[in-house]
Amino acid sequence: MEAAQNDDNAVEESQNSGIAAPSAPEQHLSKNAKKKLLKQQKYEAKKAEKKAQAKEHKKKEAERKRKEWEETLASVTEEERSKLIESRRSLRKERMEKRSDEREKKIERLTTAKQSGQNIVIDLEFSHLMSPPEINSLVQQQVDAKHHRFAHQKEKAKSRKMDGQDEVFGGGSILMIIVVGALLLFLPLTMGAVQPPPLFSLLAIPVFLLVVFIFLSRASTHA
C-alpha cells in the first residue's frame, strides 16, 4: 500500500515538474535506470526552458534595437538619415559576404577531410541511450585524441631532425676535428722550435681546408 502511494507521488511530482510519467515499458527498468531516465527528463525539460528564455530574450533585444533605430532616424535630418541607412546596408552586406565566405571555407574543409581524411567510422548506435553531456564528452575525447596524435607526429618529426643533426655533428666528424686540432697544436713542437713558421702554415692550411670539405660533404648528405 505504501509502495503504491510512493509511486503515485512520484508520478504526480513528475507531472507537476513538466516531466512525462514513465510509460508501461519503463516500469520494468531497474532502479538505477529509472533514476537515470528521470534525470534525463529533467535535463530535457530544463534545456527546453532555457531555450524558450533565450528565444524570448532575443526577441526583446531585437525589438529594443528596432525602437532605438527608429528613434535615431527620427532625430536626424533627411540627408543624415540617408547616410545612416546606406551605412547600415553596407555593414549588413559585409556581414553577409563574410558569412558566405566562412560557409564556403567550411564546405571546402569538410570536403577535403572527406576525400583525404581518416577513413574511420564510429558506430554510435548507443547514442539514444546516452545523455547530451555524455555525447559531448565522447566527441571531446575524439577531438583530444586527434590533437594528441598530431602533437605526437610533430614531436617525432622534430626528434628525427635532431637525430640527423647529431649524425652530422657527432661521431667521426668530431673525432676528425679533434685529431686535426691536436696535430695543428703539437706539430710545431715535433718540428722543433727553430723550424720556420711559414712551413707550418703551408701544412696547416690544406689540412684545414680538407677537414672543412669533409664536414660540408657530410652535412649536405644528411640535409
Report field, pTM of the whole predicted structure over 0.95:
no
Length of the chain: 223
Nearest in space to 118 (alpha carbons), one of 136, 138, 151, 143: 143
pLDDT for 104 beyond 80 = yes
Taking only the tens place, the pLDDT of each residue in 74-103 is 888 888 889 889 998 999 999 999 999 999
- H-state helical runs in the chain: 2-16, 31-74, 78-116, 132-169, 172-191, 197-222
Q: What is the pLDDT of residue 127?
A: 72
pLDDT for 116 beyond 90 = no
Please tell me which of 16-25, 52-61, 71-80, 157-166 the model is most confident about, judged by mean pLDDT. Answer: 52-61
Q: Which amino acid is at 155?
A: E
Q: What is the pLDDT of residue 15?
A: 47
Q: Which amino acid is at 80?
A: E
Nearest in space to 45 (alpha carbons), one of 67, 15, 78, 75: 15
Residue carrying the nine cell digits 533585444 = 61
Strand, coil or helix: what is 131?
Answer: coil
Mean pLDDT across the chain? 73
